[in-house]
Structure 1
Amino acid sequence: MKAKFKFENLMVWQKAMDLGDDILFLSEKFPAKENFNLSSQSCRAADSIALNISEGSIGQSNPEQKRFIGSAIRSLAEVVTCLHKAKRRNYIAVDEFNCHYKQAFSLMNKLIAYKNSIK
């Protein structure tokens, strides 16, 4: 499989894919009562990051591409809030929170740099 979509080569997309998987696995630790609340919201927000990056990279003008990256950034902020809620509700340990928070912070910096690089 040699052909690739442009976004598949983007480090921010690859990191967003990793975060989406990590949040999915993390949310499986939440209690069943959160299946349709915090678990679902965490996963949808995390998946939205990569989805917006890919959608913005296909045939979009630069302002449109920046808008999609902005949406990815807002989804990432939502993921961070979900992490805080999970920690406050004692669904995840502090070290798990710190690990995922660091991952999210790194991705946020990469997304902002990528958005700023779009002319």
Structure 2
Amino acid sequence: MKVNSFEELLIWQKAIEIGVKIYSLADQIPLKNDYKSRDQLIGSAISISNNIAEGFEYNNRLQFIRFLGYAKGSAGELRSQLALLVKVGRVSETTYLSLREELIVLSRQIKALINYLKNKKD
């Protein structure tokens, strides 16, 4: 199946869902008033979907692979930030574990697409 827009990609859709959850989390106390952590969380979350979209729009397989790598890196960055925030009591363990699992699954899906694109014949 040919994908005509990044909005059709399940990984982009999932990244948007995670971004919405991060915005919701960041709007709650205590993160609401922790501007530095809030901005970093939102920045990492947004970066995942934005890198998928940007890479897709280059219409170049190698560029897309590169930007998928950035998106995967941003997912890891977000997981790391959440791990720290749970340790300092800014994010609940339950929220952290749920988001962590979603991010691990998304990272695997991004990696699978990278592998597919690397092995795809023109």
TM-score with structure 2 length normalisation? Answer: 0.87
Q: How many residues align?
A: 115
The yes-or-no answer on 1:79 pairing with 2:78 is: yes
Indicate the SS of the match to 1:105: helix
Return 5+ residue gaps in structure 1 as ranges: none
Q: Which residues of 2 match residues 8-87 of structure 1 at below 5 A?
A: 8-29=7-28, 30-35=30-35, 37-87=36-86
Residue by residue over 1:73-107, the C-alpha shift from the partner in whole angstroms, topping out at 9 and shown as x without a partner, is 11111100111111011112111111111111111
Residue type at the aligned position of 1:116: N
Indicate the SS of the match to 2:74: helix
Residue by residue over 1:29-63, the C-alpha shift from the partner in whole angstroms, topping out at 9 and shown as x without a partner, is 2345421x111000011001000101111133211
Equivalent-residue separation in structure 1 for 2:74 and 2:84 (angstroms): 15
Q: Is the 8 A contact 2:26 2:32 kept in 1?
A: no
**Partner of residue 105, structure 2:** 106
Cα root mean square deviation, aligned: 1.6
Indicate the SS of the match to 1:70: helix
Quote how far apart the aligned CAs of 1:21 are: 0.6
Larger displacement relative to structure 2 (71-80 or 54-63): 54-63
**Partner of residue 97, structure 1:** 96
Equivalent-residue separation in structure 2 for 1:90 and 1:66 (angstroms): 36
Seq. identity, %: 25
Indicate the SS of the match to 1:91: coil
Return 5+ residue gaps in structure 2 as ranges: none
Equivalent-residue separation in structure 2 for 1:34 and 1:114 (angstroms): 35
